[in-house]
Amino acid sequence: MPPVVLGGHASPKMDLDLHYMPALRNYGEGEAGSKSEWRRVGRPGWTCQRDATAILGCPAALPYTEVIERILSLLSQDRCPPPVDRPDSENPRIAQIGDHQVIDSPQGTSAERGPAAATAIASDPPRPPIRLGIIGTGLAAQKLHWPALALMPQRFQIVAFANRTRSTAEEFATIAGLSMDGYTPDYGDLLARDDVEAVLVGVPIERIFPIARDCIEAGKHVISEKPPGASEAEALEYVELTARHPSQVVLMGEQVFYGDSRRLARSLIDAGAIGQPRFFVHRVVKHEVPVPGRFSSTPWRHKPAYPGGSIVDGGVHDLAGMRLLGGDIASLSARTEWLNKAIEAPSVLAMDFGFARNGSGSLFYGSFSTPVLDEDGSTRVYGTDGNLIINRGSVRLVRADGSVEEHVLQGSSAFYNEFLNFYEAVAYGEPVVGTVAQSARNMLILLRALRAAEEERTIDVRAEPWNAPAEGVPLWRPRGAVGLFDGLPVRHSIKAQ
């Protein structure tokens, strides 16, 4: 039986990839997917992916066996999945978002028509793609970064990649369609190359800072995975290092700052759609057991070499979302429990906090080794004149009069947005939203929450060294964009109820 890959790696639909890839790989007896293989399923690239997703129904609810059955059925018919009907395709919808209008036309957004030119301003001088080196070609590069980079060939060109284990680099090269000529086992070789302008660092937590430091000291622009270090001391060093190199762009991956649904929610809050926002509630509950080939199986996630383990590694994203929506955090208290037998650390955190401006928050982060059922994973913001319900791909605005406005976001890719911010910072000097200092602040607050839980006390985090402005995190928009989504892969539509 040939290995089967669903829809192609060059897809912003990470949900599906992350969810089904392990099963599909097992089915293919351990062989990784490749460009030539996904072409068998349908049209190349993410258009096919989107169709396949629609045909397969709700991905999270389908058992693996059924997914495989459906794919085999498609293969046996030797046909490409038909295009999906787009509802309301005749009538472009115009939405008032914050202080501007977003127009979702039948032609899609400009990103679909030609990514490279999507957000460049007319007067920008043309420039060649950024020549990118990649250090670390493991899961993050393969499953998170490459699908976004694949959409941006006119912005990024991968010229070199380094990984200690050659076989992992070969996997990546196959996925990304690269020859092994650009490979080196020693990242020092990569940094020594003058033609490498910028470096993507995607390595385990304890190696992030030492490698990023080498990159910065070699004069490269850097986009690196979070967190900023394996300890507070390291993170502080990282923040200071970036301050000493103001002419280099350093972006720390925090995809939540760039996620379209949270950006939209922030924009609605800023526009006063729910009056004064007062209570921010976020809840994430996961059943996490190690699965071969997935993030959950990485050894350092079980025996954390840095304080906090799963709660800090996973929780920083949830905290990033709270800070994007409500601003910076002033003081907090928390409780933790050990409830994941595969993780030798606390895995559940309940945290109450106050924001620096106004309003309160409640965050529940749970990683469980036992199954969980019917959990509400939404973020909710309650205001004086309504509330927001934020889920992946949707934002619902519940107004004081009981009417509901549902915003649907399809084809969204936070990683695409993140790489675009990096590109525009390097190419045009745009400000970086996901700074190392912002990620350090997220990490610090979670470390203080762990301390608050351990010492059973309320901790004021205003006086900490990485204090952030009360407004927290700037709202990212593409360069020159009028709307939130101009030129991005996402399609935005609104249903009134």
Chain residues that interact with a second copy, rule: CB under 8 A = 278-279, 281, 331, 333-339, 341, 348, 350-354, 359-362, 364, 366, 368, 370-376, 382-387, 389, 396, 398-400, 402, 404, 452, 456-458, 460
Task: Give the residues across from 331 on adjacent strands.
Answer: 354, 460
Q: Which is nearer to a second copy, 117 or 389 (CB)?
A: 389
**Helix runs in 272-412, H state only:** 309-326
Nearest alpha-carbon partner for 13 in 36, 38, 37 = 38
Q: Tell me how far, at minimum, the Cβ of 63 lies from a second copy, in Å.
A: 12
Tell me the two tokens of residue 29.
Answer: 């007896």
- Only one residue has tokens 């003058």, namely 194
Using the minimum distance from each CB to a second copy, give the nearer residue, 112 or 406. Answer: 406
Task: Decide: 283 and 375 in contact? Cβ < 8 Å.
Answer: yes
The angle formed by the CA atoms of residues 280, 443 and 262, to the nearest 5 degrees, is: 40
Rounded distance between C-alpha atoms, residue 266 and residue 256, angstroms: 12
Cβ closest to a second copy, residue 14 vs residue 350: 350
What does R_g of the chain's alpha carbons equal in angstroms?
22
Residue 360 CB, nearest approach to a second copy (Å)? 4
Given the complex with a second copy, which of 12 and 366 has the nearer CB atom?
Answer: 366
- Closest distance of CB 364 from a second copy, Å: 6
Report the nearest approach of a second copy to the CB of residue 160 (Å).
45
H/E segment holding residue 283: strand 277-287
- For 480-497, b/e burial (b = at least 16 CB within 10 A) is bbebbbbbbbbbbbbeee
Pairing of β 100-104 and β 459-460: unpaired
Closer residue to a second copy in complex, CB, 243/372: 372
* Rounded-to-integer distance, Cα 327 and Cα 269, Å: 11
Q: Which is nearer to a second copy, 316 or 388 (CB)?
A: 388
In the bound state with a second copy, the residue whose beta carbon lies nearer, of 394 and 493, is: 394
Closest separation between CB of residue 332 and a second copy, Å? Answer: 9
Nearest to 492 by CA among 391, 379, 397, 412: 412
In the complex, least distance from residue 368 CB atom to a second copy, rounded to whole angstroms: 6
Q: For the chain, how long is the longest CA-to-CA vector?
A: 64
The span from the CA of 133 to the CA of 152, in Å, is 15
Looking at beta carbons only, is 305 or 400 nearer to a second copy? 400
Question: What b/e readout covers 211-229, taking b as 16+ CB neighbours within 10 angstroms?
Answer: bbbbbbebebbbbbbbbbb
Distance in Å, CB of 449 to a second copy, minimum? 10
Closest by CA position to 417, among listed 395, 434, 440, 429: 434
For the CB of residue 71, give the shortest distance to a second copy in the complex, in Å: 25
Q: What is the closest distance, in whole angstroms, from the C-beta atom of residue 366 to a second copy in the complex?
A: 7
* Smallest separation, CB 373 to a second copy (Å): 5
Nearer to a second copy, 334 or 436 (CB): 334
Question: CB–CB of 326/232 below 8 Å?
Answer: no
If the CB atoms of residues 326 and 487 are measured against a second copy, the closer one turns out to be 326
In degrees and rounded to multiples of 5, residue 134 shows phi and psi of: -120, 125
